[in-house]
Structure 1
Amino acid sequence: MIKQPPYLKKGDKIAIVSPAKYLPKDIDFAISLFKQWGLEVVLGESVYAADHQFAGSDELRTKDLQRFLDDSSIKAVIASRGGYGVIRIIDNLDFSLFLENPKWLVGFSDITVLLSHLFGKLNTQSIHAQMPYTFDDATQASLESLRKALFGESLKYHIKNHPLNRPGTAEGLLIGGNLTLLVMVQGSLSEMDYTDKILFIEDVGEREASIDRMMRMLKRSGKLSQLRGLIVGAFNEMDEEKVPFGQSPEEIIFKVVEEYNYPVCFQFPVGHIADNQAIILGTSGQLHIDGQQVTLVQPN
C-alpha cells in the first residue's frame, strides 16, 4: 500500500536541509514565504555549511537529514537545492522512524535520488517541486503549486499543445524526475518500477548525445515499453556539440518512444525553469492530450 504523508496545516513545523551542493546565497525569501503560509521553519546545520562544493561533509549532511527524518514534530523536509551529493549519503540513512511517521520530502534535480528511493524502496509519496534556492526566480504559479501540494489541494495543469505531442488519455501513478539521476539509480535499491506508470522527465546541461544514450538505456531495459504515458519537461542549457547531433532533445525522445502507443507530451512546465510546477510522486494522475492542449490532473 502506498504511504501518503499527512497534508500540512497552518502551525505545522517544516525543516530545510541541504543534502547536496552548498548554498551560495541566502534563502530568506523562501523562509518568509513559508511563514506566510502559516508554517514554522527550522533550518538544519547543513543549510549554510560548505565543504568544497558540498553543503558540509557527507557525515554532516547525513546527520542533518536523519535528524529531521526521525523528528515526528517535523511535518515536511524541504531540500534547499540540488547540485550533486544525495547519492553519496542515501545508503547511510535510516528510514525506520520515518516510516512510522511519514512526512513530505520536497525537491528536484539531484534530489531525484531521494524521491526515487522514497517511492521505489519505501512506497511513500513525495513532492517534485521548486526549492528555496530557486524561489527567487520562480513564477508565482509554480510556488502556489507547491503550496497546494503540501496542503492537499488538487493540482490541475493546462498547457499548450506541442507539434510532437502524441494524443491520448492515460491514468496511472506519477513517477519521474531528472533523467540523469533516474538512470543513475537503475539497478539499485532506489530504482522505481515503471510498469503502468506515467513517467515525467527533465534535465539540464546535458548534450544531445547523452540524452539519446540515457533514453535508449531506459528503452533497452524495458522501462519505456511498460508506461501508460510520458511527460517530457524542460531540457535546457544544453552543452553545444562540436559536431551537431542533428536532433533536438524533444526529437530524440520522440524517436525513442515512437513505436509505443501511449500519450506523450513535450515542454511540460517541470524542470530547471522558473515555472517548475509541482508533481506528487506516487499519486494517481490523469493525463489527457489532444490537438489543442495537455491537461494533467492530480486529485488530492
Structure 2
Amino acid sequence: MHFKSLFYVLLFMSCTYSKSSKITFKTPQTMASKKYIRPAILQVGDTIAIVAPAGILKSRKKTIEAAQMLLKNWGLVPVLGPHLFSESYHFAGTDAQRLKDLQWALDKPDVKAIWCARGGYGSMRIMDELNFETFKKNPKWLVGYSDVTALHNQLQNLGYETLHAMMPINMEEDAKAITASITSLKAGLFGTLEKHSIEPNKSNRMGSAKGVLTGGNLTLLTAQLGSASQLDTRNKILFIEEIGEYKYHIDRMLQSLKRAGYFDHCNGVIVGDMMDIKANSPAWGTGIEELIMNILDPYDFPVAFGIPAGHKPENRALIFGRSIDLNITKSETIIRF
C-alpha cells in the first residue's frame, strides 16, 4: 500500500477507536455509576434450591434437613439438587454432576435463590462451563461464602448482586452462636437488611467511604487473578476473609492483589474473619492486623477490622454488588446497605 494512503487509513482508524473508547474502556467514574441487577426479594411461598458445587456432604443429611426446616419455617420451599449427596472423593459428585445441579438451579424458573450447601473446593472446576443465558432472563440470589467466592465474583462481573452469607453446613454450629448469621441471612433474602453496627477495632483506619461491595475469600480472590473472573475493584469497597493459612501465605496473597492493582483505586477495605492462622516457623513477627496494614499503608482509604463475616459461627450477611456506605469512627463501624 502507498505510504500516503496508509497514513490516511491509520488516521481514520485512530479517530474511529477514539470515538468508541468510551464504551470499550471503563474509567473509574464509569465503573462507579454501574448499576448492578438486584434479583427479586423473596416472598413467602418462593423456592430455594440447595446445591453443592464444591466439597462433599458425607454423612450430612441431617444437616441439610435442618437447613430445609429453617427455610420452611420462613414460609419458603426448599428443593435439593439431584446430585446433592453424590460422592467423588473430595467433591460432592463428579465435576459433571455438580455442574449439572448448579445449571439446573440457575435455569429452573421457579427457583428464586440458590443456597450453596458448603464450601471446601470445587466451584472453580466447573464455573467456566456454566451458561447464564437463562439466568439473565430470570435472575436469582446466589448465597454462600468461602469457595463460593468464585461464583460470587463471576456473577458480579456479569452485573448481578449476590449474598455472601452462611450455608446449610453451618446448621451444625451451636444454635446461639449462629443466631446473627441466620437473622441476617433472612434479612438479606427478604430485602430487609439495612446495616451492620460493629464494635470498634484498635487497628481500624477511620474514615468514610461509599462504593460497591465486592470480594470474598482471599485464597479464591488470588486464584482468579488473570482470569475472566478477576475483579475490577475501582471505586469499590473490598471485603476479605481467610481461614487456616500461614501469615506468609496471607502476605503473599495480599502482595499479589496489590501488584494486580486491587488497591490502587479502591475506596475502602473491610477485613472479616482471619481465623485459625497457622504459626510461622520462624515467627512472622507481627500480628495479622499489622501485616495487613503494612501492605495497605501507601493508600489513604478507610480500613475496618473485626467484621463478623467469614468462617466463624457469626457470619453476617453481606450484599455483594450493592453500593454501601462504610463509616468507621472511634465508637463503631457501620456498614449501611
1:81 and 2:115 correspond? no
For 1:174, the equivalent position in structure 2 comes to: 213
Aligned partner letter, 2:211: G
For 1:19, the equivalent position in structure 2 comes to: 53
- 1:135/1:143 contact within 8 Å kept: no
Q: How far has the Cα of 1:182 moved from its partner?
A: 0.6
Aligned partner letter, 1:203: E
> Residues of 2 paired with 1:143 and 1:47: CA distance?
22
Secondary structure of 2:240's match?
strand
Tell me which stretches of 4 or more aligned residues in structure 1 moved more than 4 Å. none
Instruction: Give me the CA root mean square deviation.
Output: 1.0
Larger Rg: 2
For 1:90, the equivalent position in structure 2 comes to: 127
Alignment of 1:1-300 (within 5 A): 1-24=35-58, 25-26=60-61, 27-120=64-157, 122-137=158-173, 138-298=177-337
Q: How far has the Cα of 1:261 moved from its partner?
A: 1.1
Secondary structure of 1:224's match?
coil
Residue segments in structure 1 that go unaligned for 5+ positions in a row: none
Secondary structure of 1:227's match?
coil
> Residues of 2 paired with 1:276 and 1:155: CA distance?
16
Aligned partner letter, 2:51: V
For 2:11, the equivalent position in structure 1 comes to: none
Secondary structure of 1:277's match?
coil
> Residues of 1 paired with 2:281 and 2:208: CA distance?
40
Deviates more, 1:241-250 or 1:60-69: 241-250
Identity among equivalent pairs (%)? 43
- 1:107/1:130 contact within 8 Å kept: yes
Deviations 1:197-249 (A, max 9, x none): 01110000111001001111111121112111110011111222221111222
> Residues of 2 paired with 1:288 and 1:156: CA distance?
11
Secondary structure of 2:249's match?
helix
Aligned partner letter, 2:321: G
TM-score, structure 2 normalization: 0.86
> Residues of 2 paired with 1:192 and 1:170: CA distance?
19
> Residues of 2 paired with 1:180 and 1:53: CA distance?
18
> Residues of 1 paired with 2:128 and 2:135: CA distance?
15
Give the structure with the larger helix fraction.
2
> Residues of 2 paired with 1:290 and 1:82: CA distance?
33
Q: How many correspondences in the alignment?
A: 297
Secondary structure of 2:336's match?
strand
